[in-house]
Amino acid sequence: MSKLLTIALIFMLGGLAFAQMPVAALPRTYIDTTWNPPQGGTTWAAHTAVQFTSALQVASPGDTIVLDAGTIYSGYFTVPAKSNSNKKWIYVTTSAYAKLPAPGTRVSPTVAANMPKIVTPGTTSALRFADGANHWRFVGIEIYSASSYRPPTYTAGVNFGYSLVDKLSYPGTSNIPDSIVFDRCYMHGDATHDLQEGVVLNFTSAAVVDSYISAIHAKGVDTQAVLAYVTPGPIKLVNNHLEAAGENVMLGGAGKGAFGYVPSDIEVRNNYIYKPLAWVPLSLPPINQYVVKNSFELKSAQRVLFDNNLIENKWAAGQIQGAFLFTPRTSQSGDVAVVLDVTVTNNVLKNVISGFNMIAVDGECGTTAYPDCHNAGKTGRWNISNNLVMLMDNTAQGSVGHIDLMIMGPSIDLPNGGVFVPAHDIVLQHNTEVPFGKQTCWGSVYVGVPAALGRPPFTAPPTTNVWVLDNVLCRQPTGDWGQQGTAGLTMYAGLPSTQPYDLTRRFYGNVMYVPTGDRTYSFPPHNYATTLPVSYLNQSIGNYQLQSPYWTDTTDGQLAGVNFAKLPASTTPQ
């Protein structure tokens, strides 16, 4: 049997296997972070760094440690393990707790005067959690770096530190820290202190809520406000300001399988995920000071809920990819890595160069760079619905022109040569794509084609079981080699091809703008390609509910595009 016939047979079988609309599994476990301070235990007042170190050691589950607001506690503090069969909490809080915002309210730097300061004097983390540490909650604490380490490549006056919060020892064990919560904390770098990470959540049942993490940046390396890779989950990130040059949030991407964990049951809601525009010139030639990448990246994760967040500012620097990058990296995360069951709903992406980039498998697995990787990973069941994607000005610094907003794939050739894995089991529904001003976007839904398929007509479609429903698209879908219309969709997304899951059901209810100079193509029934500009209910206040064309020939009878009422209430900096 020839190689091409083998590939075609694999895809026909794949089409049968995926013959239904994908449903992404939601997190199985959600972390309860209800404010419930210990009652009846001992309260330890720590006025100095020495007393704080002692209190960490002597406090028992059910106790409270109180630090003095405004006082600097300098050092590398280890949070120890405690025998805790009753799962009682130890709270570490501020003496000015009454002046903090109420639980459920995000803090900002303006309340830092009411916070104790836990400060690392060097590259080591300010807080390190020992294996077995459990049920610790830090409340109303400011954490930052006063590192005096200057790498050889750094200019005078700028120093470097690693993470502010991390696990004490690596590699991982079966007794990693558990039930660790940061509540209304302020963690940050500054103009003279680079940091590689804000918080490394290599814990089980780890949460950051109502907190403010900012100025996480460094020269020549990736940085993250929140990073997690040695954890089975669950993880909760709710109502935070998350600011980093590299990936604001990244799951996976390290460990190379030594730990055997896939971060799972991830809840990310109501956050402001932000990159300051002041960093644009610092990330581009000739300065090249900061490495700027994506806003939310998954290299290994499953059962992820990303809902009701505001992402602002993503330009081209360290990477051109979009605000979201779903890219299984077994080469970096280990052969167990997957990106499965991801739900992205009701979010605003503002001033971004691209919305979603998705890669089916790890094309680096088994290459000379990663010879010990033997599994290219699994992906699937991605639900991307009711998201507003607003493109940046393509004449602004940091733009590279007309960039597509939603990219499915590309499918990746496997390094062993021959068979490849398609991008599959993806739903894009009720999303709206908005170019800046009167500009034209480069593409809307774009499908990459691996080299194994050659030129069109392809031996098999590069995607399987992809559903594009009820969206307002800034241009007609296309992909590598420029195929468009029903014929193009058939080549890019033709499987499954049998009713009731054929293309007429999987590409349905969409409004597509056709800019001047583009040909208007024929698409399956119940889709509308218009040469008239799309208009919205009240664009001046960010209400991008569709106004014209008034298109309700959709799968659910609702207007195509976003339901504005379900989006974050504010689209201004927070």
SS3 of 436-491: CCCCCCCCCEEECCCHHHCCCCCCCCCEEEEEEECCEECCCCEEHHHCCHHHHHHH
Task: Please state the φ and ψ torsions of residue 434, each to the nearest 5 degrees.
Answer: -130, 115
Q: What was the pLDDT predicted at 11? A: 38
Residue 325 in tokens: 């990058």
Q: What was the pLDDT predicted at 375? A: 85
* Core vs surface per residue 150-164: b (16+ CB within 10 A) or e: eeeebeeebbbbbbb
> What's the alpha-carbon Rg for the chain, to the nearest Å?
25
Task: Please state the φ and ψ torsions of residue 283, each to the nearest 5 degrees.
Answer: -100, 0
CB 218 within 8 A of CB 194: yes
Residue 198 per-residue DSSP state: E
For the chain of 574 residues, list the mean pLDDT of each consecutive stretch of 10. 36 46 97 97 98 98 98 98 97 98 98 98 98 98 97 94 95 88 98 97 97 97 96 97 98 77 96 97 92 96 98 88 90 90 97 91 86 87 96 88 63 57 90 93 90 88 94 95 95 94 96 96 98 94 94 98 90 51
Report how far apart the first and last C-alpha atoms of the chain are (Å, whole number).
60
Q: What was the pLDDT predicted at 321? A: 77
Q: What was the pLDDT predicted at 257? A: 60
Residue 1 in tokens: 């049997």
Q: Which of 360, 325, 326, 336 is nearest to 256 (CA)?
A: 336
Q: What was the pLDDT predicted at 1? A: 36
Query: What HEC string does 49-117 produce?
Result: HHHHHHHHHHCCCCCEEEECCCCEEECCEEECCCCCCCCCCEEEEECCHHHCCCCCCCCCHHHHHHCCE
Q: Which of 134, 115, 140 is nearest to 60 (CA)?
A: 134
Q: What was the pLDDT predicted at 415? A: 55
User: Which pTM was predicted?
Assistant: 0.94
Which residue shows structure tokens 């774009």?
446
In the chain, what's the furthest Cα-to-Cα distance?
A: 77
